[in-house]
Amino acid sequence: MMVFEGHEGAVNSLSQAVPEELVSGSWDGTARIWDTATGKVKYALEGHTHAVSVLTLPNGINITGSQDKTIRIWYKD
């Protein structure tokens, strides 16, 4: 069993498009991209002010929707 720790609020959504990464959305206003091999955070997607839900696409784009009434599209570098 692996435990992914780092959110400061309840986790309310998960998305996975590739085996190497898991994306979580939380009530803490962030989404996080996790390395599934290590359980460590690779990226924190910050900018929302309320709970976040996530959608991950196979091309590496992550889309977040929030109770702050915004949708954000996150492109990988």
Q: With bands split at pLDDT 50, 70 and 90, how would you rate the model's confidence at 76? A: confident
Amino acid letter, residue 59 = N
Could you read off the pLDDT of 21-44 as tens digits, one per residue? 999 999 999 999 999 999 999 999
What does pTM read for this prediction? 0.94
Cα torsion at 34, 72, 57, 8 (round to 10°)?
20
Could you read off the pLDDT of 42-75 as tens digits, one per residue? 999 999 999 999 999 999 899 999 999 999 999 9
The CA–CA distances, whole Å, from 58 to 54, 64, 68 equal 13, 15, 26
CATH number of 11-74: 2.40.10
Task: Identify how many contiguous H helices and E strands the chain contains and give both numbers.
Answer: 0, 7
Nearest to 7 by CA among 71, 73, 54: 54
